[in-house]
Structure 1
Amino acid sequence: MMKTNQGWLLFTTACLSGISASAFAGQANIDARALAMGGVAVASSQQAASVFYNPALLAKPSSRKDDIDLLLPSVMATFSDRDDLQSGFDQVQQSYDGLNQAINNADEAQIDVYRQQLITNLEQLAGDSGYVNAAIGAAVAMPSWRIPAAVFYQTYVEGMGIADVTQRDLDVLAALDPSNPPDTRSLTSSGTAVAGAVSELGVALSYPLSIVNMPVTVGVSPKIQRLDSFNYVASANNFENDDISDDKYRSNATHFNLDVGMTIMPLHNLTFGLSARDLISHSLDSLAIDGQSFSFNVEPKYTLGVAWDWQRLMLSSDIDLNKDKPFEAMPASQYWRMGGELKATDWLSLRLGYRYDIETSHDDIYTIGSGVSIGDVFSIDLAGMIGSGDSLGAALQTRYQF
């Protein structure tokens, strides 16, 4: 099922391993316009892009047009590797190989040098970690004044890599006698990369209502959802990022899931939105590697949003109503997002945003971006992100209307 996502998953895994030996899962912001505004979307997303956040927005009066709206492609990636995790493992491996060679050569001076160097490398590596979040998707919204509809696909991934340095290794190395060294063996310290990926193919349907002449819309998105988990564990002296995407570290399962949403417009330029995504909980156990395994969880996510739109200027804010914790080993997150868009000209939009983790587990994120329209048919959106730590990210999407 969904074999088209295989290349993307392997590509993303390779990218992750290259920057921090990290992994994936979670609900990514896939719309570059929304991401440039801090990730706000539940009340402010437009046409085809709205299916990733709140299907009810398809029937919002300002979104109902006679044009087919095609979003293809939309891609994004963010990462944090403040500890330079892979470099730390490389230094451990170099010192470990040097110590082995010195022991084989019975070189007491070099044994002591590499012993001390390996202790230092392990102490520096202890507790290091890295995170990655990435997504790719496409959607097409079809015009209808009665029941607007859209078809969408997305794969989003998130994950982490962790270095686990054992006290046993430090004690053995500290007690090692250069004049009578023991036979070398693998370190008990290890590196772990855990990851989860969600791939979805679905249909979004929306219906406009009216309550006391106040526009209200409701929406639903039934979808087929595939979960993939990656679990890679290796000793610190054998950690190879190229091995992470191997099938022997991977498991998957396919399920049905459902998103629903609604919007209400008490004033012409004021919209409130509420979305509930992944209403059916699913859990996927990873393969057990060296006796270690984890569960990748997809749980319901509830988000409330508000948007004020004065045509040239739009301001919006979203807040998660519950925590999201796809892995037990990963800290939970719960975001408050805010952002705005200024339509500087008929063809240029400028955007700013901010994202804050209420759980204070992740960096504060500052975002910036722009959108450029070429005629009435083609537009491109770009976004950039920087975190209060060292988180960086970017997003790009192209959109066609015909």
Structure 2
Amino acid sequence: MVTVIRAAAGIAMVSLSLPAAASTTLSDTRSVGMGGAGVASANYLTASFHNPALATQNKTHDRFGMILPVIGARVYDGDDLHDRVDAFQDLNDQLASNPDLEEQWRAALLDLDNDRIDGDANIGMVIAIPNRVVSTNFFVSSNVTAILTTDIDESDLENKEIVNSNAQGVVGGTVDIGFTFAKEFIFLDRDLSLGISPKFQQILTYNYQDNIDSFDDDDFDFSADYVDKSAFNADLGAAYALSRNVMLGLSAQNVFSQSLKTNISNGTQATYEVKAQYTAAFAYNHPRFTVAADVDLNSKQPFKEKSYKTQFARIGFEADAWRLAQLRLGYIHSMTDYADDVITAGIGLKPFGKFGLDIAAMYGEGDNYGASAQLVFHF
């Protein structure tokens, strides 16, 4: 388990060291292509990532399915903070031998105040065995969030010496290993599916802080300094077929709140929090296309000490070509000021019916790019 999240954390931290990388909402690649929507539109294979109740949504010919693996990453650095930190450090090295750079040095330092880079990464897999009694999935899902922030102390501007101005990188993530169980009932002459995903959860955190003149992302040492703990958690879900084509969905992920403090780095520490996330959704499913919309009912603030929080509304579209290929489009609208809107696109290829490859990409203003990919097997 630790190996899985180390890999995901590595992706997130490498992403933060680049000027651009990936998404705003990550789970399975199909949903990434559809703007992250999935609480009412996921299939039986991807239900464990969105809404456990949808594990009942298999076709009559589906007997066994597998996603192995799904992988994705994203980072947002809209103001080129990484490059500006490098530029300031170059100026700082030159200042001692060239006093004429003093005003330029002050301006470059002040320009770094209260800035941020944030990123996410995920790795996962699913094995699904649908049936009429209780549809069952086994899943592994690793999700990591990383945030880099800068804090400039104005006293350093006058002293021309970096004493209190700093940069801090924090990482928090979970590895979920669990089973999804879903059952379909008749309610008011319509199909009602209820699902639950009890899961063993490994939580890991990491913190690295240093003065802004010496901060170097190459010094991140997650494998040596991370803090971890184990917990039990669960996801709950419901899906109601309002008509033959219309599905309503409601999910609650991580219903048991958890928190974990990071390691101490230069006297600083952060608290990673795992709290319940509630999402309501709608989907119109036609044999040839699907239209879906998800709305987060509450915001998510991964680190207690950081004001950074996210909440999204998502819309997605998928067109199916005789089950051989699928074209996907989506749009993610940020409901907070800490993220930007993103457009997404993806394609699914199943030329032989049993085996498929899904890929997706996303784009937003500034340095906001992303990608996701997964291999899918149906039997």
Greater C-alpha Rg: 1
Q: What letter is aligned with 1:35?
A: V
The alpha carbon displacement at 1:136 in A equals 0.9
Shift of 1:88: 2.2
- Check 1:388–1:115 CA distance in 2 against 1; reply closer, same or farther (3 A cut): closer
Match of 2:111, SS?
A: helix
1:3-402 paired onto structure 2 within 5 Å: 3-19=2-18, 28-60=25-57, 62-63=58-59, 65-100=61-96, 102=97, 110=98, 112-173=99-160, 186-247=162-223, 249-328=225-304, 329-402=306-379
Residues of 1 paired with 2:193 and 2:126: CA distance? Answer: 20
For the 8 Å contact 2:225–2:263, the answer to whether it is kept is: yes
User: Cα distance 1:247–1:76, how it changes in 2: closer, same or farther (>3 A)?
Assistant: closer
Using the size of structure 1 for normalisation, the TM-score is 0.88
Q: Secondary structure of the equivalent of 2:11?
A: helix
Q: Deviations over 1:102-139 (max 9, x none)?
A: 2xxxxxxx2x1343342232123223321111111000
Q: State how far apart, in whole Å, the 2-side matches of 1:29 and 1:281 are.
A: 21
CA distance in structure 1 between the aligned counterparts of 2:20 and 2:108, rounded to whole angstroms: 17
Distance 1:86 1:202 in 2: 37
Say if 1:294 and 1:155 are closer, same or farther in 2 by CA, change over 3 A.
same
Tell me which amino acid in the other structure corresponds to 2:228.
N
- Residue 45 of structure 1: CA displacement? 0.5
Is the 8 Å Cα contact of residues 199 and 227 (structure 1) preserved in structure 2? yes
Quick one: distance in 2 between partners of 1:387 and 1:330? 22
Q: Distance in 2 between matches of 1:241 and 1:220?
A: 40
TM normalised by structure 2 equals 0.93
After TM superposition, the structure 1 stretch with the greater mean CA deviation from structure 2, 215-224 or 353-362, is 353-362
* Partner deviation per Cα, 1:175-225 (whole Å, 9 max, x = no partner): xxxxxxxxxx65321111111111110111111111243111111101011
Offset of residue 345 of structure 1: 4.4
Q: Which AA in structure 1 matches 2:137?
A: A
Contact between 1:38 and 1:367, CA under 8 Å: does it hold in 2? yes
SS in 2 for 1:231: strand
Give aligned-pair identity as a percent.
28
In the alignment, the residues of structure 2 paired with residue 97 and residue 238 of structure 1 have an alpha-carbon distance, to the nearest angstrom, of: 10
* Structure 2 residue matching 1:29: 3-state secondary structure: coil
Give the residue type in structure 2 aligned to 1:142.
Answer: I
The Cα of 1:381 is off from its aligned counterpart by 1.1
Per-residue Cα deviation, 1:75-107 (whole angstroms, up to 9, x for no partner):
11121112222322222222222234x2xxxxx
User: How far does the alpha carbon of each residue in 1:16-66 deviate from its partner, in whole angstroms, 9 at most, with x for none?
Assistant: 3422699xxx99521111111111101100122111111111113x44644
Amino acid at match of 1:391: N
Q: Which residue of 2 aligns with 1:106?
A: none
Ranges in structure 2 where 5+ consecutive residues have no aligned partner: none
Change (3 A) 1:13 1:303: closer
Counterpart AA for 1:195: V
Maintained 8 Å contact 2:289/2:319: yes
Of 360-369 and 146-155, deviating more is 360-369
Change (3 A) 1:308 1:361: same
One-letter code aligned to 1:243: D
- Partner Cα separation in structure 2 for residue 169 and residue 127 of structure 1: 15
Question: In the alignment, residue 270 of structure 2 is paired with which amino acid?
Answer: F
Maintained 8 Å contact 1:332/1:361: yes
Q: Contact 1:64–1:148 at 8 Å: present in 2 too?
A: no
Say if 1:92 and 1:371 are closer, same or farther in 2 by CA, change over 3 A.
same
Matches of 1:43 and 1:21 in 2, distance apart?
31
**Cα pair distance change 1:136/1:300, threshold 3 Å:** same
Distance 1:254 1:63, change over 3 A: farther
Contact 1:21-1:241 within 8 A present in 2 as well: no
The number of residue pairs the alignment matches comes to: 377
Deviates more, 1:303-312 or 1:118-127: 118-127
- Residue deviations 1:131-151 (CA, integer Å, cap 9, x gap): 111111000101322111010
Q: Which moved more, 1:122-131 or 1:143-152?
A: 122-131
Q: Which residue type is aligned with residue 69 of structure 1? A: G
* Structure holding more helix per residue: 1
Aligned 8 A contact 1:259 1:278 in 2: yes
Q: What's the RMSD between the two structures over aligned residues?
A: 2.2
SS in 2 for 1:325: coil
Amino acid at match of 1:226: Q
